[in-house]
């Protein structure tokens, strides 16, 4: 199948399913779904098919490092949302993402210490989230019939953009930019605007719980793509995601109960 056709079909389908599930089960589950590599997974697959496995492996390592920037976005948004409106909070947290990304641009880390560092930062971020998130975990839907198509269009456009400019940016910078939270920001900003800061914080708690599997997915790809076939590397990475996501969902459900 044509690579462009894969991009245009796979990405919006995955995002649409995730959005519907999040709408049905609440804000924290929406955040949990966002953490799954629904756009980054297809991006890595497209890069492996078009740019080669070595390029995709280095990009996966860069994306793993980009989790530091994503955590900076999450913590900044969650801490500021209680005091600022959604637009100013979004702007400040995007700035935090950009500053951390700029700091990481000229820095590389060995793969195993990088993964361990991301896991530790995720654990710390969970402790830094404000605790009053429970009232935001409502079952209220996000606005309008256009909401899910808009998310699908944004996510697909992001995949097309990143895979298009990747050869120019190189694998490290491409990887750092891939975690830019376009979909996360959309979900959290809608929740913040409609339901208040507690809803956005609930989204981020679910997101952080799911990012452990996201980080492990990228670690697996970065480790295997240079040594195994594309099919084997992605199959193992998907199994890792499913196992860890099942565990994080169980923990989320226990917290909700």
* pLDDT by position in tens, the chain (length 257): 455 666 677 767 776 776 677 677 887 887 898 788 877 888 899 889 989 999 999 999 999 999 999 999 999 999 999 899 999 999 999 999 989 998 998 888 999 999 999 999 999 999 999 975 444 444 444 455 666 787 678 777 877 787 777 778 888 877 887 777 777 777 788 788 878 999 899 989 999 999 999 999 999 999 999 899 999 999 999 999 999 999 999 998 887 65
Q: Cα separation of 219 and 214, whole Å?
A: 9
- The pLDDT, as a whole number, for residue 133 is 44
Give, to the nearest 10 degrees, the angle between helix 147-169 and helix 182-195: 150
Q: Cα separation of 119 and 205, whole Å?
A: 15
- The pLDDT, as a whole number, for residue 207 is 93
Q: What share of the chain is helix, strand, coil (3-state, %, to 5)?
A: 80, 0, 20
Q: Cα separation of 213 and 38, whole Å?
A: 12
- The pLDDT, as a whole number, for residue 158 is 75
**Which token pair is 75?**
């913590």
Q: Cα separation of 232 and 222, whole Å?
A: 13
Q: Phi and psi dihedrals of 105, rounded to 5?
A: -60, -35
- The pLDDT, as a whole number, for residue 2 is 53
Element (H, E) at 52: none
Q: Cα separation of 93 and 59, whole Å?
A: 24
Query: Where do the domains of the chain lie?
Result: 29-128+144-256
- The pLDDT, as a whole number, for residue 114 is 97
């Amino acid at each position: 199948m044509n690579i462009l056709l894969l991009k245009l079909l796979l990405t919006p389908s995955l995002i649409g399913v995730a959005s519907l599930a999040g709408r049905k089960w609440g804000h924290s589950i929406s955040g949990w779904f966002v953490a799954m590599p629904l756009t980054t997974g297809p991006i890595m697959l497209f890069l492996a098919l078009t740019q080669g496995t070595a390029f995709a492996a280095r990009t996966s390592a860069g994306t793993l490092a980009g989790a530091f920037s994503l955590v900076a976005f999450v913590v900044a948004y969650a801490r500021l949302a209680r005091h600022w409106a959604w637009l100013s909070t979004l702007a400040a947290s995007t700035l935090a993402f950009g500053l951390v990304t700029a700091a990481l641009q000229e820095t590389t880390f060995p793969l195993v210490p990088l993964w361990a560092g991301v896991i530790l930062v995720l654990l710390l971020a969970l402790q830094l989230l404000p605790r009053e998130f429970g009232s935001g975990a409502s079952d209220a839907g996000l606005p309008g019939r256009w909401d899910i198509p808009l998310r699908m269009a944004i996510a697909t456009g992001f995949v097309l953009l990143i895979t298009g400019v990747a050869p120019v940016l190189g694998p490290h910078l491409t990887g750092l930019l891939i975690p830019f939270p376009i979909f996360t920001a959309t979900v959290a900003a809608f929740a913040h605007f409609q339901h208040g800061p507690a809803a956005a914080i609930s989204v981020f708690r679910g997101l952080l719980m799911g990012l452990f599997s996201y980080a492990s997915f990228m670690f697996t790809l970065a480790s295997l793509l240079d040594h195994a076939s594309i099919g084997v590397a992605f199959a193992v990475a998907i199994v890792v995601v499913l196992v860890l996501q099942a565990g994080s969902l169980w923990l989320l459900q226990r917290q909700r109960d």
